[in-house]
Amino acid sequence: MEFKKCVRCGCFFVSTNDVCCNCESKDRFDIAKLNSILEDNNDFNSIEELSTISGINLNNLNRFIANDKISGIENISL
C-alpha cells in the first residue's frame, strides 16, 4: 500500500480512502449534516448556497457529491 495525502487535512496516511482516519469521522459528520439539511429543504439554487448554509466548504461538498454521498441533491443546478 502507498502513502496518500489526505484531501481534507493534507496529512499523509496509508489507506485506500481519500481521507485519513481522523477526517473520515469528520466526513461522516458533514455528510449526515448535509443529508439532514436536504431532507428538510432541497430548494437550493446552487452548491455555494448549500455550502454557506451548512458551513461545509465547497471542496468537501464537491467531493461528497462526486462520490455520491449526498441524496436529494438532484434538484440543485451544479
| 9 is a contact residue toward Zn ion (CB under 5 A) | yes
Contact by Cβ (8 Å): 77, 45: yes
CA 44 to each of CA 12, 29, 31, 51, 57: distance values in angstroms, whole numbers, following the listed order = 35, 21, 17, 10, 16
Residues β-bridged to residue 3: 14
Residue 6 or 61 with smaller CB distance to Zn ion: 6
Q: How far is the CB of 32 from Zn ion (least distance, A)?
A: 18
| 60 is a contact residue toward Zn ion (CB under 5 A) | no
Q: In the chain, what is the straight-line distance between the N-terminal and C-terminal CA atoms, in Å?
A: 35
Stretch of 12-20, 34-42, 52-60, 65-73 lying at the interface with Zn ion (CB under 5 A):
12-20
| 20 is a contact residue toward Zn ion (CB under 5 A) | yes
| 56 is a contact residue toward Zn ion (CB under 5 A) | no
* Residues in touch with Zn ion (CB under 5 A): 6, 8-9, 20, 23
